[in-house]
Every structure is written in C-alpha cells, then in structure tokens.
Amino acid sequence: MAVDVLEHPLAKQLVAELRDKLTPPEHYRRLCHKLTTLLVLEATTALGTTDRVVETPLESARCEVLIEGLAVVPILRAGLGMLDSVTELFDDVKVGYIGLERAHDTAIAHRYYCKLPDLAGRLVLCLDPMLATGGSASQAISFMKVSGAERVVMVCVIAAPEGVARLNADHPDVRIVTAALDRELDARKYILPGLGDFGDRLFGTF
C-alpha cells in the first residue's frame, strides 16, 4: 500500500518548524501536538458511522455518529508525544504501549515493554514520529495483530523510503499516514534531511 503524505499548508509549516535545529523542546511539544492532530484526522477518515436522528431546537435532523471504536499504540518513548492529540479528539479509545529500543551499532530494535488491550473490532493507530528502517514499526504491528488488530494505520511525522518499503513488504494491509516523505537514510540509519532524534528534541534529553 502506498504512503499518504499530508498536503495541507499548515502541516508543511509545522514540519519546517520541527526540522529547525533552533526550535526549543517546549515549542517542539506544541508543534508535535498540532501536527499529530492533523495526521490523526487524516488517518481516521474511514471510521465507521451510522445515522441517528437528533432533535435540534427547531426540528429533527438526521446526523452521522461514530459507531467504531479506536485504539492507539504509541511506540515508546517518542510516540508518547503524539498520544494526547488522539485522546483529546476521541472519547472511545483504548491505549496500549510498546517499548522498542534500537541498538546504535546494528539499528535493530528489541522489545523491552509491551502492554496491549484487546484490539479486535477497532481501528488501531500505531504512533511513531520517525519511520526510518521500518523495523520497529513492523515488530510493533506484528504484536498488535497478535492482540486482535485487524485494521492498522501507521501514523508518523516523517518517513524514509526504506521504512515505507519495509512496511509495505511486511504488512501490505497497513496504511501509512505521514507529514513528509524524506530522501533516504544515512549510514547510521538516520533520516535525511530529517530532524535529528525526535525523542531527544521532544523531551530535551540531548
């Protein structure tokens, strides 16, 4: 499945500010919240709805209301910066967590924490700001499917072509929604032009 890149002008502005090395952590967190809101709205366009009659002050109106629940799983730790945007938008949401740490010498991630609710019957959002090699995201989505996930959307701020290719190969049923598709990975598996280490910039742990 192809990657969906946000084309909204505000999303482009927010990505530019996130890339800027002079953006301080406190502003970085606000930018992340705003951009994630845009990403999540795009990622949830296929949520199921049904008709319901609502009484307005003037007359009856046939409206559409949500009938499908949502689940969200941030990949620790950087994915935590995207979580609040989802829980503020949606009431019926289950939250799980997956902790994956990438070894700097091999770029291979290992799991150190996993706590997932039953994901069956819900649209599941996997949150990770940077889709680089795609290894962490692929592992995480595999865990989600074991917990019952049938429909998963990968939501990231920036994606590399290598990460998109990995997810398309491992999980072709998973839609990818991102704000930017960057050029490539460098020798250390960092995205270029990228924005550095998202978690460090988000939490000020340089």
Residues noted as catalytic: 102, 106, 197, 200
Bridge-based pairing state of the strands 60-66 and 49-55? antiparallel
Do 48 and 68 meet the contact criterion of CB atoms below 8 Å apart? Answer: yes
What are the beta bridge partners of residue 102?
109
Give the Cβ contact number of residue 186 at 10 Å: 12
User: Per this entry, what is the length of the chain?
Assistant: 206
Q: What are phi and psi of 184, to 5 degrees?
A: -170, 175
SS3 179: strand
Residues 111 and 51: their CA atoms lie apart, in Å, by: 42
